[in-house]
Amino acid sequence: MTDQRTPGSAPDEVPATTELGVNEEELEAAGIDLAVAEAAAPDREIAVEVGENIVEVRNLTVKFGGLLALDDVSFDIRRGEILGLIGPNGAGKTTCFNAMTGVYKPTSGDVLLEGASIKGQKQHRITRMGLARTFQNIRLFGEMTALENVVVGLDARHRTSVPGALLRLPRHTREEKSAIERGMALLEFVGIADHAGTLSRHLPYGYQRRLEIARALATDPKVLCLDEPAAGFNPAEKEELMELIRTIRADGYTVLLIEHDMKLVMGVTDRIVVLEFGRKIADAVPHEIRNDPRVIAAYLGEPEDDVA
Ligand SMILES: Nc1ncnc2c1ncn2[C@@H]1O[C@H](COP(=O)(O)OP(=O)(O)OP(=O)(O)O)[C@@H](O)[C@H]1O
Ligand SMILES: [Mg+2]
């Protein structure tokens, strides 16, 4: 496997890889327990080429009445990268996610996932195609436990028929066990396994954010889209969450990250797309974005905390 995920790594060096084709050093550096990753998604292909486009957003336009919330936006997401999607309030970031994940029907344009159009597909179908997301405003099943919230995501992958489930045929029993085991592994992965039995509405806010990520991962996505996952966090909590996102990427996922805090997004992304008033105004690596006069101008007038 070629591994260009770590910026600055020597491209001609072939790193030691595990049976799954994962760079062991990278996993160790990220503090990943491979057993957890394997248990969470045993069928996932991790040994993938990094670098080719996994998502192509093509001329995406979303109108709300007279408002052009997204105006002819195109960008690519490359496999294995963390792509940042930033911009001032109301720039169209969430609208872009909503159009990509089937919440809104785009006015025009298209989104391709591994070459397949998501046009006209329902949300659950797009999730099955491999595009999972979290929401800016947390959406969990408040009356379910943390574990149940994750198992619901895993359920989408169950192959057992309803009669099979009712009769408790052996395969169902096996899958149920493995769903719980995998759910627990995912909770462990995001660091909240100790709270598996807690109703999600009773979880501290930061844990709810992590649970949303676990639930999205439960659908076994190729691309994980996170809409301001660190919103409302203090700086230490934000740094911890960014570490989790790095870990998720090191574990073979592609990540699209909406984040309002420029400083934060600079530290974790490989590349950044900037929106302003529904238009793409920049698409470059972080240090170029930092020095881009259009981006600086777009962020003028934003609260100081949000400017790098
Ligand atoms: N369902 C909707 N109906 C009408 N207008 C909408 C709708 N959703 C978003 N908008 C408008 O579209 C524009 C883009 O909103 P969006 O939520 O995508 O911005 P954002 O970049 O995610 O902002 P924020 O940083 O505040 O989350 C805004 O002007 C918003 O008011
Ligand atoms: Mg938003």
Does residue 64's CB lie within 6 angstroms of at least one atom of ligand 1? yes
d(CA 248, CA 186): 11
* Atom number, ligand 1, closest to the C-alpha of residue 275: 21
**Ligand 1 pocket member 89 (CB < 6 A):** yes
Which residue is closest in CA terms to ligand 1's atom 24? 89
Nearest ligand for residue 279 CA: 1
Atom of ligand 1 nearest to the CA of 87: 21
Question: 98 C-alpha to center of ligand 2: Å?
Answer: 10
Full 3-state SS string of 120-159: CCCHHHHHHHCEEECCCCCCCCCCCEHHHHHHHHHHCCCC
Tens digit of pLDDT for each residue in 120-155?
899 989 999 999 999 988 889 988 999 999 988 776
Helix axes 205-218 and 146-155, enclosed angle (nearest 10) = 20
Is the CB of 87 inside a 6 Å radius of any atom of ligand 1?
Answer: yes
Ligand 1 within 6 A of CB of 260: yes
Per residue in 67-98, pLDDT (tens digit) is 999 999 999 999 999 999 999 999 999 999 99
**If you take atom 7 of ligand 1, which residue's CA is the nearest one?**
64
From atom 1 of ligand 1, which residue's Cα is the shortest distance away?
A: 64
Length of the chain: 308
C-beta 136 within 6 A of ligand 1: yes
Query: pLDDT at residue 29 above 70?
Result: no
> Ligand 1 pocket test: which of 60, 61, 89, 95 has the largest number of ligand atoms within 8 Å of its C-beta?
95
Query: Average pLDDT of 11-31?
Result: 47
Residue whose Cα lies nearest atom 30 of ligand 1: it is 90
Mutate to test the pocket of ligand 1, among 67, 85, 135 (most ligand atoms within 8 A of CB): 67
* CA angle, residues 33, 18, 270, in degrees to nearest 5: 75
Would you say the pTM of this structure is higher than 0.75?
A: yes
Q: Which pLDDT score is estimated for 181?
A: 86
Identify which has the larger pLDDT, 161 or 151.
Answer: 151
pLDDT of residue 160 exceeding 50, the answer is no
pLDDT given at position 175: 58
Considering every ligand atom shown, identify the ligand nearest to the alpha carbon of residue 278 and give its number.
1
What is the rounded distance in angstroms from the CA atom of residue 89 to the CA atom of residue 276? 9
Instruction: Kindly report, residue by residue over 237-249, the tens digit of the pLDDT.
Output: 999 999 999 999 9
Greatest mean pLDDT among 11-15, 22-26, 111-115, 160-164 lies in: 111-115
